[in-house]
Structures are given as structure tokens and as C-alpha cells.
Amino acid sequence: MHPRLLATALAAAFVLASALPTRANDDVLRRTADPAQQVLQTVDYANTRYSRLDQIDTGNVGRLKVAWTFSTGVLRGHEGAPLVVDGVMYVHTPFPNVVYALDLDADGRILWKYEPKQTSDVAAIMCCDLVYRGLAYADGMVFLHQNDTTLVALDARTGAVRWSVANGDPRLGESNTATVMPVKDKVIVGIAGAEFGARGHISAYNIKDGSLAWRAWSTGPDSDLLVDPEKTTELGRPIGKDSSLKSWEGDQWKIGGGATWGWFAYDPTLNLVYYGTANPATWNPSQRPGDNKWSMTIFARDADTGMARWVYQMTPHDQWDYDGVNEMILTDQEIDGHPTPLLTHFDRNGFAYTLNRATGELLRAAPFEPTVNWARGVDLDRASPSYGRPLVDPAHSTETEGEDVTYSGICPAALGAKNQQPAAYSPQTRLFYVPTTRMCMDYEPFHVDYVAGQPYVGATLTMYPAPGSDGRTGALTAWDAVAGRAAWTAPERFSVWSGALATAGGVVFYGTLEGYLKAVDARTGRELFRFRTPSGIVGNVMTYAHRGRQYVAVLSGIGGWAGIGLAAGLTDPNAGSGAGQAYGALTSYTNLGGQLTVFALPDAP
């Protein structure tokens, strides 16, 4: 290993080994302490997407060259990133979720291939392309959560199935697009399907045999939610008995959404798992009076039992499809002069939230995208009865005049000021690097009846560039969460739908919908490198080291909600929930593909 790589790895391993209790999965902790490997899509339990590798830095990143490539054989949206463990790279595809094990000693020679047998009917119940956000590794197993909700544990050496279990039922509109997270002796998984009236839940399966350890629902009775009415708190106050049931009309909670298709974080010291829940169903707010708890909510749950320690609902009675599933990033910083365990979340609704992750106290909430207009802010007055609630602008409510009315000029669009593509955090700069979208929308809600397995949306959207954006609909934003402001912004022609990666070399990597892999200076945002890959990038950049050489890798393959028009060949301007028309110009810049591109310095050891 290169001397700098080795020194960095040993120092990080020593710090983690001495500072963390052995409460998390020991194999995951050991391997995340080695920056040469990647075993989680989020890089670490804290979701920082920060690599301690520094062989590639601001002075030499411009000399990156393609080292090797690999075709996945699938032509839909390629989200997520490969894993690297003990000299083997594990690559996943969108539906049908093929898994490849590639030999890094032989430029990606295929060691084994796992090809699930999934019915094509699953494709019909996936709302926003046939994406999958990637694998996880622990204890000699690679974990795949298929689009049809089958959770599979594969032997990392052979690809043989150790066990598999169904986490949901596609006949009810339940599917999966999210990765999983191994924690201690369990694997944490979510579910998708709010657009089909699926009732969201998070589940923990035992790593040893795939048996269900616990399941916590997003809506319904306290016993289903795994909450204690007197001990589970929101902003320091007990949530009280039947908190969810009281916030829905009748039995609407049974088809109330709140899916869990985003990312998970874990604090080994507090033994808490963090995640967000999605939009309530339907998108038509008039059909579901009340706050619709606990959709649009950040949850902190005990990893062993699933019991909720605290909750925070960011967008009560969501009227705009602002899913709350984006990643929770865990850092330790000073707030008002006090060292504080923090959770930072960049929500689709355009606000950046900073909370005390031990208590759930809301510390900061500010718009990270300047065009946000659906709310004037978030009430941060602890003495106020509306503490923590958004100050909704009535002019941008979507139910003031009822159904079948077009509500115009709402910012951000339902795509969000940021969607699921994960941000990164650098402890060097103490900045978050946030892929953003600058789109607004017109929103027309209409009545829709629930039919199991059929779309349960109830709104038509038209999306377009935000005012003042000069037609540019995206950016990479460097955000100071403590100060609540942007440090710098790098505008992009299209929404940045790729996950960012920050490195100890002072570089931030990300991809663009046109297909460029870009590298910028973490402190200034100055572009240092770009390379055009064969298709648009909606995957997450990763880096690893092999035999002393640092590599950067990214999956390209246009798709996801922003690229679904191209990926699915849509011609109806209203298809793809408005995205087909909004991103129609992409056809002039990229085309379908499915490729892994790996880069390295030509003169590295």
C-alpha cells in the first residue's frame, strides 16, 4: 500500500477501535476503518460519504485517466455504487438486480454472477424507474434487497444463496429501491410503494438466518409503530397515546404511505438507527385531513428492539410530495459553544435540518435552496405552540381551493430541492456537499380511489426551471450547517442526481445527468477535472485502493425520476409525474447505458 494510504488507514483504525464500543457489527467497523475498502453504500455508519484516501488530491486529480471499464448489460437508471472487499468488487444493476463479483487483480474479471428470477410485473409498480441503490457487506455475506422486496444473503466468495426472505408483497404495490444496513447481528431494510398506498415499515432481520427480529410501521397503532407514548418524544415532548391514529381520518392510515425507501444511519454509542419516512398517500391532501403522522418524519430507533427514542415530523400534512427519506448525516460539532452529537438532513422540501441526535432537539432549520417558497421558514421558538413546524405560505398550499384546481409556482417541485442522491461531509472543511435541484411546479390534485396494486397518486404535476435560474436546474452546494448558509455553489445545466463523495485529498467528486464525472476543490468549488462517461450519471461516486493505488469509480446509466423519460422511452409529456417533459432536453446530451468506469492516476505506484 502507498505510504500515505497505509498511514491514514492505520490512524483511522486506531481511533475507531479505541473510541467506539463493540456494539456495532464488528466486521463492518473494522472494514470501514480501512479506507481501501467500501462495505456500505454510505461509506460509514454516519453517512458522511467521506474517504480518508488522499493519494488523489487537488494537485493531481486533473491527471486522472480511465483504468478499466465494465458493462453491466442493463439499460435503466444505475443508482448506488460498487463495493470493494478484500480485492473483490461487487457491482449491482437496476432491475433485474444482477450482482457481479469482479477480480481487481485482473481488471474486473468476473468471479461469479448472481441473476435473480423476478417477475416483470414488479416493473409496473415501481413509480420512478427500475432503480436499485446497492449492496452491503458484512460477515462474509453480500446483502441484496431485490426490487420485488426479496432480501437475499449471498456468500461473498461463491455467490451462493445463504438465505432469502420476502420483505413485502408486490401485489399490494410494495417494492424496493433502497440499500440495506447491517447493524450488530441484524440487517435493517425498508420498503417502497407510497404511490400505491403501501403502508411503510422498517424491518430488522437476523443476519444468521434471515428471521424477522422486529418491524416498525410508519402509521397506525402505537404497538405497530413501536413507540412508547410517554417515553418517545418529539422535540422534547412525549408524543402521547395514539399519536398517529388521531392524525388520520378513519382508516386512511392503513393506506397512508410513509414508505422507507431512503438511507439509514447508525450511532454505535447511542445504539440508535436513524432514517426518514416518505410522503403520505394520496398526493391529494384533501382526501387525508390531519397531520398524517408519522409520514415525512425522522425516526431514531433502538437497534436491538426497534423502539423509537424520538421522532420529528418535518412536513405535517404534506401537500407537495416532499418525501422525507433523504439521508441523515451524523457529525460531532460545537453548537453555541457546546460539543454536540448532530444529525443533519437535507430534505426534499428545501430545508436543511440540524438536530441533536441524542435527544431529537431541533437546533437549526434553513432553506439550502434559495428559491424555496412553499414555507416562509420553520418556527424555531421553543416557547411557541408551533415550534418545529413549517410556516406554510397559504399562497402555495395545494388544498385551499379544493380538488381539480391548478396551484402554480410552487418551489421546489415534487422532485425536491434534493432527492435521494446522498450528500457528503468533509471533516477537513466542516462543509456538506449537497446535490441540488432548482425546479418549481404546478400541482393539480384530484380525487382517486384506492385499489390494491394500482397507482394511488391523485395529482398531476408540471415541472419547470425555478425563476432566476437562467434555465439551469441543478447545482452542487457546499453548506455550512452550523451557520445555516451556503459557502459556495457550483451551478449545473441539469439537476445533480449523483451522490457526492468528499476525500482527504481535498476533492469532491460528483456526476451530472449529461454523463460527466467531475472533481472540484472542496474549499472553493473550483472545477479540477471532468470526464464524459457513456451515459448520464445518477450513481454515487466511490473510491478505493488496491495494491497501493487509489481508484475512483462511478456507475453511469441515465434513469431515476429525473431521467425516467429517457430510460423508459416516455412520450406523454405528463408521464413520469412531470419529469418526462421537464428533462426532455436530456435527449440532446446523453443516451441509455449501463457502465462502470474506473479511474486512476497514470503515474501512481
113-147 pLDDT, tens digit per residue, is: 999 999 888 988 998 899 999 999 999 999 999 99
What is the distance between the alpha carbons of residues 494 and 497, in angstroms, rounded to a whole number? 9
Of the candidates 52, 29, 227, 28, the one whose C-alpha atom is nearest the C-alpha of residue 136 is 28
67, part of any domain: no
Cell numbers for 243, please give them. Answer: 399519536
In the predicted structure, residue 21 carries a pLDDT above the cut 60: no
* pTM listed for this prediction: 0.95
Report pLDDT digits (tens) over 351-401. 999 999 999 999 999 999 999 999 999 999 999 999 999 999 999 999 999
59, part of any domain: no
Structural domains in the chain (count): 1
- Best mean pLDDT range from 2-6, 20-24, 515-519: 515-519
What is the distance between the alpha carbons of residues 277 and 345, in angstroms, rounded to a whole number? 13
In the predicted structure, residue 10 carries a pLDDT above the cut 60: no
68, part of any domain: no
- Over residues 81-88, the mean pLDDT reads 98
Report pLDDT digits (tens) over 510-567. 999 999 999 999 999 999 999 999 999 999 999 999 999 999 999 999 998 888 888 8
Domain that holds residue 292: 3-51+73-600
Cell numbers for 410, please give them. Answer: 410552487
What is the distance between the alpha carbons of residues 431 and 487, in angstroms, rounded to a whole number? 8
Question: Domain of 331: which CATH number?
Answer: 2.140.10.10
- 521 — phi, psi (to 5°)? -70, 125
Structure confidence at residue 213 (pLDDT): 98
Helix, strand or coil for residue 598? Answer: strand
Structure confidence at residue 281 (pLDDT): 96
Given the residues 44, 267, 321, 347, the one annotated as active site: 321
What is the distance between the alpha carbons of residues 35 and 129, in angstroms, rounded to a whole number? 32
| DSSP summary character for residue 376 | E
Structure confidence at residue 142 (pLDDT): 98
Report pLDDT digits (tens) over 175-207. 999 999 999 999 999 999 999 999 999 999 999
What is the distance between the alpha carbons of residues 88 and 567, in angstroms, rounded to a whole number? 29
26 is catalytic: no
Report pLDDT digits (tens) over 463-506. 999 998 888 999 999 999 988 899 999 999 999 999 999 999 99
* pLDDT classification of 575: cutoffs 50, 70, 90: confident
Percent of the chain with pLDDT over 90: 87
Report in angstroms the alpha-carbon separations of 322 from 350, 441, 491.
9, 12, 23
60, part of any domain: no
Structure confidence at residue 322 (pLDDT): 97
Can you list the positions of beta strands (E) in 320-378? 328-335, 338-346, 351-356, 362-367, 375-378
Structure confidence at residue 563 (pLDDT): 84
62, part of any domain: no
63, part of any domain: no
DSSP states of 71-132 as a string? E-S--S---S--EEETTEEEEE-STTT-EEEEEGGGTSEEEEEE-----GGGGGG-BTBS--
Cell numbers for 123, please give them. Answer: 416493473
Structure confidence at residue 153 (pLDDT): 98
330, part of any domain: yes
- Over residues 150-172, the mean pLDDT reads 97
Percent of the chain with pLDDT over 70: 96
61, part of any domain: no
* pLDDT classification of 24: cutoffs 50, 70, 90: low
In the predicted structure, residue 1 carries a pLDDT above the cut 50: no
